[in-house]
A and B are shown apart, each in its own frame.
Chain A
Amino acid sequence: EDQVTQSPEALRLQEGESSSLNCSYTVSGLRGLFWYRQDPGKGPEFLFTLYSAGEEKEKERLKATLTKKESFLHITAPKPEDSATYLCAVQPQGGKLIFGQGTELSVKP
Chain B
Amino acid sequence: GDSVTQMEGPVTLSEEAFLTINCTYTATGYPSLFWYVQYPGEGLQLLLKATKADDKGSNKGFEATYRKETTSFHLEKGSVQVSDSAVYFCALSDRGGGYQKVTFGIGTKLQVIP
Do A and B interact?
A: no
